[in-house]
């Protein structure tokens, strides 16, 4: 059913003499998987949203006084690092025209995506809970940076939202191998 080129970028090692114009189609390379342009775009989105969230939250003076906000800063920092690392890996894969096919690498990516996305989502939810508590329930936006907290939370959610496709595509390709 699936004849996947495990390591070799070109499949021209067959013994046929005719048909030299076979395109270098890599099977089951959905856009969004590691080593594709879509995957690189997803990584850049994750990185961008996480960086914005980090910057917005870190520039509020009173974020260290709330545990959940400090945790958000830590979680999106990790997300930044991870997404940047995988974006670099994607750029390398695209530049040498290879794709990641080994099960070991794909499981590593899946586990990493799972962990970082869970942490980012948890941090975003905790921050959202506290932002809503300050803004709606206690109505103390006059003495707090409600808008900045909200923006940082929203960006963290967007970052999580763009990690999810990477995670599910990796998990799917791992399970269907």
Smaller CB distance to a second copy: residue 84 or 122? Answer: 122
Residue 38, number of CB atoms within 10 A of its CB: 16
161 contacts a second copy (rule: CB under 8 A):
no
Task: Confirm or reject binding of residue 133 to a second copy (CB under 8 A).
Answer: yes
Q: By rule CB under 8 A, what string of x and - marks binding of each residue 32-71 to a second copy? A: ---------------------------------xxxx---
HSE-up of residue 105 (Cα within 13 Å, Cβ side): 13
Kindly tell me which of 44 and 111 has the beta carbon lying closer to a second copy.
Answer: 111
Contact segment (CB under 8 A) with a second copy among 10-18, 25-33, 130-138, 144-152 equals: 130-138
Measured CA distances, 89 to 22, 82, 128, 171 (Å): 27, 11, 32, 18
**How far is it, in rounded angstroms, from Cα 158 to Cα 155?**
5
DSSP letter, residue 33: B
> What residues from 66 to 105 belong to the interface with a second copy (CB under 8 A)?
66-68
CB of 140 to a second copy, least distance (A): 12
- What DSSP line would sit under 36-50, residue for residue? SHHHHHHHHHHHHHH
Q: Which residues bind a second copy (CB under 8 A)?
A: 1, 65-68, 121-123, 125-130, 132-133, 136-137, 171-172, 174-176
């Amino acid at each position: 059913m699936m004849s996947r080129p495990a390591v070799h970028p070109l499949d021209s090692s067959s013994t046929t003499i005719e048909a030299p114009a076979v395109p270098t189609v890599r099977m089951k390379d959905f856009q969004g998987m590691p080593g594709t342009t879509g995957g690189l775009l997803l990584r850049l989105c994750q990185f961008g949203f996480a960086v914005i969230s980090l910057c917005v939250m870190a520039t509020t003076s009173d974020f260290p006084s709330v545990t959940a906000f400090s945790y958000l800063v830590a979680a999106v920092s990790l997300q930044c690092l991870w997404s940047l690392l995988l974006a670099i890996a994607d750029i390398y894969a695209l530049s040498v025209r290879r794709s990641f096919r080994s099960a070991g690498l794909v499981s590593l990516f899946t586990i990493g995506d799972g962990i970082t996305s869970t942490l980012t989502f948890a941090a975003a939810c905790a921050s959202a809970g506290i932002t809503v508590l300050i803004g709606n329930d206690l109505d103390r936006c006059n003495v707090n940076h409600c808008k900045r907290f909200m923006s940082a939370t929203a960006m963290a959610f967007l970052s999580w939202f763009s990690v999810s496709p990477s995670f599910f595509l990796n998990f799917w390709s791992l399970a269907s191998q």
